[in-house]
Structure 1
Amino acid sequence: MFILSLTYVKPNDEADRHMEPHMAWVKEGYAKGWFLASGRKMPRTGGVIFAIGERAAIEAYVAADPFIIHGIAEYDITELTVTTAVEGLEILKG
Protein backbone atom coordinates (compact mmCIF):
# COMPACT_ATOMS: atom_id res chain seq x y z
CA MET A 1 0.00 0.00 0.00
CA PHE A 2 1.10 3.56 -0.61
CA ILE A 3 0.33 6.81 1.13
CA LEU A 4 0.48 9.61 -1.44
CA SER A 5 0.81 12.84 0.50
CA LEU A 6 0.62 15.96 -1.63
CA THR A 7 1.55 19.39 -0.36
CA TYR A 8 0.64 22.58 -2.15
CA VAL A 9 3.61 24.69 -3.17
CA LYS A 10 1.36 27.40 -4.63
CA PRO A 11 -1.59 29.26 -3.04
CA ASN A 12 -5.00 27.57 -2.73
CA ASP A 13 -6.52 29.86 -5.37
CA GLU A 14 -3.95 28.50 -7.84
CA ALA A 15 -4.85 24.93 -6.78
CA ASP A 16 -8.53 25.75 -7.27
CA ARG A 17 -7.85 26.75 -10.89
CA HIS A 18 -6.53 23.23 -11.56
CA MET A 19 -8.90 21.31 -9.27
CA GLU A 20 -11.25 20.04 -12.00
CA PRO A 21 -8.52 18.28 -14.05
CA HIS A 22 -6.88 17.05 -10.82
CA MET A 23 -10.18 15.51 -9.69
CA ALA A 24 -10.64 13.86 -13.10
CA TRP A 25 -7.16 12.37 -12.59
CA VAL A 26 -8.18 11.18 -9.08
CA LYS A 27 -11.37 9.57 -10.45
CA GLU A 28 -9.31 7.76 -13.10
CA GLY A 29 -7.05 6.42 -10.32
CA TYR A 30 -10.15 4.93 -8.68
CA ALA A 31 -11.33 3.50 -12.02
CA LYS A 32 -7.94 1.80 -12.44
CA GLY A 33 -8.42 0.16 -9.03
CA TRP A 34 -5.35 1.89 -7.60
CA PHE A 35 -6.95 4.46 -5.28
CA LEU A 36 -8.80 3.34 -2.16
CA ALA A 37 -9.48 6.61 -0.32
CA SER A 38 -8.57 10.27 -0.69
CA GLY A 39 -9.24 13.68 0.77
CA ARG A 40 -7.98 17.12 1.73
CA LYS A 41 -5.58 17.80 4.57
CA MET A 42 -6.95 20.01 7.34
CA PRO A 43 -5.91 22.77 7.35
CA ARG A 44 -6.02 22.84 3.55
CA THR A 45 -2.34 22.44 2.69
CA GLY A 46 -2.76 19.56 0.25
CA GLY A 47 -4.25 16.09 0.30
CA VAL A 48 -3.70 12.39 0.89
CA ILE A 49 -4.47 9.36 -1.27
CA PHE A 50 -4.30 5.74 -0.13
CA ALA A 51 -3.27 3.60 -3.10
CA ILE A 52 -2.39 0.03 -4.01
CA GLY A 53 -0.52 -1.36 -7.00
CA GLU A 54 3.00 -1.53 -8.35
CA ARG A 55 5.28 1.28 -7.21
CA ALA A 56 6.58 2.12 -10.70
CA ALA A 57 3.04 2.40 -12.07
CA ILE A 58 1.91 4.55 -9.12
CA GLU A 59 4.95 6.84 -9.49
CA ALA A 60 4.33 7.23 -13.23
CA TYR A 61 0.67 8.01 -12.58
CA VAL A 62 1.54 10.60 -9.93
CA ALA A 63 3.84 12.30 -12.46
CA ALA A 64 0.80 12.74 -14.72
CA ASP A 65 -1.29 14.54 -12.07
CA PRO A 66 -2.20 18.01 -13.37
CA PHE A 67 -1.08 19.38 -9.99
CA ILE A 68 2.44 18.08 -10.74
CA ILE A 69 2.39 19.14 -14.38
CA HIS A 70 1.44 22.72 -13.42
CA GLY A 71 3.72 22.91 -10.36
CA ILE A 72 0.84 23.21 -7.87
CA ALA A 73 1.92 20.45 -5.49
CA GLU A 74 4.70 18.06 -4.58
CA TYR A 75 4.16 14.43 -3.61
CA ASP A 76 5.73 12.32 -0.90
CA ILE A 77 5.14 8.62 -1.63
CA THR A 78 5.41 6.33 1.40
CA GLU A 79 5.18 2.57 0.99
CA LEU A 80 3.51 0.79 3.89
CA THR A 81 3.28 -2.93 4.53
CA VAL A 82 -0.03 -3.33 6.34
CA THR A 83 0.07 -6.32 8.67
CA THR A 84 -3.11 -5.68 10.65
CA ALA A 85 -6.43 -4.23 9.51
CA VAL A 86 -10.02 -4.20 10.73
CA GLU A 87 -12.50 -6.55 9.12
CA GLY A 88 -13.43 -5.29 5.67
CA LEU A 89 -10.05 -3.65 4.99
CA GLU A 90 -8.10 -6.80 4.18
CA ILE A 91 -7.33 -5.33 0.72
CA LEU A 92 -4.74 -3.12 2.45
CA LYS A 93 -2.63 -6.10 3.48
CA GLY A 94 0.35 -6.77 1.22
Structure 2
Amino acid sequence: MFVVLLNYTSPIEAIDELLDDHLDYLRQQYASGVFVLSGPQEPRSGGVIIARAASRAELEAILAQDPFQRAGVAEYSLIEFRPRMTAAGLEELREL
Protein backbone atom coordinates (compact mmCIF):
# COMPACT_ATOMS: atom_id res chain seq x y z
CA MET A 1 0.00 0.00 0.00
CA PHE A 2 1.19 3.51 -0.74
CA VAL A 3 0.55 7.06 0.34
CA VAL A 4 0.97 9.37 -2.65
CA LEU A 5 1.54 13.03 -1.87
CA LEU A 6 0.98 15.51 -4.69
CA ASN A 7 2.47 18.98 -4.47
CA TYR A 8 1.26 21.54 -7.00
CA THR A 9 4.15 23.24 -8.80
CA SER A 10 2.05 25.58 -10.93
CA PRO A 11 -0.54 28.27 -10.16
CA ILE A 12 -3.96 26.98 -9.13
CA GLU A 13 -5.39 28.28 -12.42
CA ALA A 14 -3.24 25.73 -14.30
CA ILE A 15 -4.44 22.99 -11.94
CA ASP A 16 -8.08 23.98 -12.45
CA GLU A 17 -7.69 23.80 -16.24
CA LEU A 18 -6.72 20.12 -15.89
CA LEU A 19 -9.04 19.23 -13.02
CA ASP A 20 -11.80 17.52 -15.04
CA ASP A 21 -9.24 15.33 -16.82
CA HIS A 22 -7.54 14.56 -13.49
CA LEU A 23 -10.89 13.54 -11.95
CA ASP A 24 -11.58 11.23 -14.92
CA TYR A 25 -8.16 9.67 -14.38
CA LEU A 26 -8.93 9.17 -10.67
CA ARG A 27 -12.25 7.49 -11.51
CA GLN A 28 -10.43 5.07 -13.83
CA GLN A 29 -7.97 4.14 -11.09
CA TYR A 30 -10.78 3.61 -8.57
CA ALA A 31 -12.58 1.37 -11.09
CA SER A 32 -9.41 -0.67 -11.58
CA GLY A 33 -8.99 -1.08 -7.80
CA VAL A 34 -5.70 0.81 -7.56
CA PHE A 35 -6.88 3.89 -5.66
CA VAL A 36 -8.56 3.44 -2.28
CA LEU A 37 -8.95 7.01 -1.02
CA SER A 38 -8.04 10.48 -2.29
CA GLY A 39 -8.65 14.16 -1.83
CA PRO A 40 -7.17 17.64 -1.91
CA GLN A 41 -4.91 18.96 0.81
CA GLU A 42 -6.12 21.87 2.94
CA PRO A 43 -5.09 24.48 2.10
CA ARG A 44 -5.27 23.51 -1.57
CA SER A 45 -1.56 23.02 -2.28
CA GLY A 46 -1.75 19.44 -3.55
CA GLY A 47 -3.48 16.18 -2.86
CA VAL A 48 -3.23 12.81 -1.13
CA ILE A 49 -3.96 9.37 -2.57
CA ILE A 50 -3.97 6.00 -0.82
CA ALA A 51 -3.19 3.38 -3.45
CA ARG A 52 -2.69 -0.36 -3.80
CA ALA A 53 -0.12 -1.64 -6.28
CA ALA A 54 2.09 -4.69 -6.60
CA SER A 55 5.22 -2.53 -6.65
CA ARG A 56 6.50 1.02 -6.58
CA ALA A 57 7.40 0.72 -10.28
CA GLU A 58 3.84 -0.33 -11.14
CA LEU A 59 2.38 2.63 -9.24
CA GLU A 60 4.88 5.05 -10.79
CA ALA A 61 3.76 3.87 -14.25
CA ILE A 62 0.11 4.43 -13.27
CA LEU A 63 0.86 7.89 -11.86
CA ALA A 64 2.69 8.82 -15.08
CA GLN A 65 -0.72 8.70 -16.78
CA ASP A 66 -2.19 11.40 -14.51
CA PRO A 67 -2.91 14.58 -16.50
CA PHE A 68 -1.26 16.58 -13.70
CA GLN A 69 1.91 14.52 -14.14
CA ARG A 70 1.84 14.67 -17.94
CA ALA A 71 1.44 18.47 -17.85
CA GLY A 72 4.16 18.88 -15.22
CA VAL A 73 1.95 20.84 -12.81
CA ALA A 74 2.51 18.57 -9.80
CA GLU A 75 5.32 16.64 -8.12
CA TYR A 76 4.66 13.25 -6.57
CA SER A 77 6.25 11.52 -3.60
CA LEU A 78 5.45 7.97 -2.55
CA ILE A 79 5.54 6.37 0.88
CA GLU A 80 5.17 2.60 0.95
CA PHE A 81 3.68 1.02 4.07
CA ARG A 82 2.06 -2.19 5.27
CA PRO A 83 -1.28 -1.59 7.01
CA ARG A 84 -1.53 -3.85 10.04
CA MET A 85 -4.46 -2.28 11.88
CA THR A 86 -7.66 -0.71 10.57
CA ALA A 87 -10.95 0.62 11.82
CA ALA A 88 -13.92 -1.75 11.76
CA GLY A 89 -15.13 -2.30 8.22
CA LEU A 90 -11.72 -1.70 6.65
CA GLU A 91 -10.18 -5.08 7.43
CA GLU A 92 -9.76 -5.91 3.73
CA LEU A 93 -7.07 -3.22 3.53
CA ARG A 94 -4.80 -4.98 6.03
CA GLU A 95 -1.70 -6.74 4.83
CA LEU A 96 -0.80 -9.77 6.87
Which TM-score applies when normalising by structure 1? 0.94
SS in 1 for 2:10: coil
CA deviation after TM superposition for structure 1 residue 88, in Å: 1.0
CA deviation after TM superposition for structure 1 residue 53, in Å: 1.9
1:31 aligns with 2:17: no
SS in 2 for 1:87: coil
Which TM-score applies when normalising by structure 2? 0.93
CA deviation after TM superposition for structure 1 residue 92, in Å: 2.1
Cα offsets for 1:6-30 (capped at 9, x unmatched): 0000011100001111111100000
Letter in 2 for 1:85: T
- Return 5+ residue gaps in structure 1 as ranges: none
Aligned mates of 2:68, 2:53 — CA distance in 1:
21
SS in 2 for 1:86: coil
Aligned to 1:3: 3
Aligned to 2:80: 79
Letter in 2 for 1:17: E
- Return 5+ residue gaps in structure 2 as ranges: none
Identity %: 38
**Structure 1 segments of 4+ aligned residues over 4 angstroms from their partners:** none
Count of residues in correspondence between the two structures: 94
